[in-house]
């Protein structure tokens, strides 16, 4: 009887914070389909005006992509809500387990997956308020709460790195997650017309630490022991920062420069590198690939 009473408790106590990364992946996939549906819809409209036969194909594909985008967006919102409730229960009933997550040298990198998930949800629904004040204020509130949480977690994670004796063997592209979160604030904020200075603040933080972490992680990957197989899918995260940089640059400044184009080509190089590695695709990461694909597609358009 004692063992039976412990099992349900231990499941909640051991709920991994990394599960929120699945929302990043599903939400990123919804943005991929949404952007693709807009692109195919534009092609269809242009082709109809020019009476080109290919328009019928584009007209057929665009609705499928659009409804797929909605489907994944709803799934992302539902999964996020369920995980938030469950993790909230873990904080309330198993606070020591939550404290262990806050001091774990690997799990701590996934804390920012919570505000990142919120920002991705904001990015999808930002243009779908339909003039409804309550929905619009809800989107705004979610954005500012997520941005504040992202800043707080960035400060906490950075201070944790400085205080603790971090092992270089633990370095992996997953360390980008807190930094990618800062770059996603401008991506979402530009869609709801957030203050530009605020967006530049997060953009600067993300760019600065992205460059530093890139050097550290590349040094670890080249000169030290290879990543464990369970961490190999995180290599896809290398695609995300330069891709998001391109989108942010255009959102903040209204144009593309040689710098943003170079960042896009850096992201493209990482795509080619991962294709060249080949066998990593058999361990495809939801968070690493879908959010990266969303940003790469968006930056290309």
The pLDDT tens digits of the residues spanning 228-271 come to: 777 777 788 888 899 999 999 999 998 889 999 999 999 999 98
DSSP for 18-31 reads GGHHHHHHHHHHHH
* Reported pTM: 0.84
DSSP for 282-293 reads GG--HHHHHHHH
What was the pLDDT predicted at 6? 43
Residue with tokens 């904080």: 91
Q: Are 242 and 293 in contact (CB under 8 A)?
A: no
For domain 2-300, give the fold: Glycosyltransferase (1.50.10)
Q: Are 109 and 175 in contact (CB under 8 A)?
A: yes
What's the pLDDT band for 170 if we cut at 50, 70, 90?
confident
Q: Where are the domains of the chain?
A: 2-300
**Strand, helix or coil at 11?**
helix
């Amino acid at each position: 009887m004692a063992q039976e009473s412990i099992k349900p408790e231990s499941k909640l106590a051991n709920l991994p914070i990394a599960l929120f990364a699945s929302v990043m992946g599903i939400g990123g996939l919804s943005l991929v389909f949404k952007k693709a549906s807009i692109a195919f819809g534009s092609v269809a409209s242009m082709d109809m005006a020019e009476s080109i036969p290919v328009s019928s194909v584009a007209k057929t594909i665009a609705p499928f992509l659009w409804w797929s985008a909605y489907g994944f967006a709803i799934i992302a919102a539902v999964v996020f809500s369920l995980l938030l409730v469950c993790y909230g229960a873990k904080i309330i009933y198993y606070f020591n387990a939550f404290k262990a997550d806050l001091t774990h040298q690997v799990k701590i990198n996934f804390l920012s997956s919570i505000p990142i998930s919120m920002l991705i949800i904001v990015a999808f629904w930002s243009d779908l308020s339909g003039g409804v004040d309550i929905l619009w204020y809800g989107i705004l509130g979610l954005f500012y709460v997520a941005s504040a949480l992202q800043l707080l977690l960035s400060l906490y994670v950075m201070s944790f790195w400085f205080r603790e004796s971090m092992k270089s063997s633990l370095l992996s592209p997953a360390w980008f997650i807190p930094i990618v979160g800062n770059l996603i604030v401008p991506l979402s904020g530009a869609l709801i017309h957030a203050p530009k200075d605020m967006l530049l603040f997060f953009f600067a933080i993300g760019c600065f630490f992205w460059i530093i972490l890139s050097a550290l992680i590349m040094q670890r990957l080249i000169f030290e022991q290879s990543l464990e197989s369970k961490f190999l899918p995180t290599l896809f995260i290398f695609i995300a920062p330069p891709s998001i940089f391109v989108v942010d640059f255009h959102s903040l400044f209204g144009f593309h420069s040689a710098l943003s184009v170079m960042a896009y080509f850096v992201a493209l190089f990482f795509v080619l590198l991962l294709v060249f590695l080949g066998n990593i695709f058999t361990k495809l990461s939801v968070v690493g690939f879908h959010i990266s694909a969303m940003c790469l597609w968006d930056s290309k358009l």
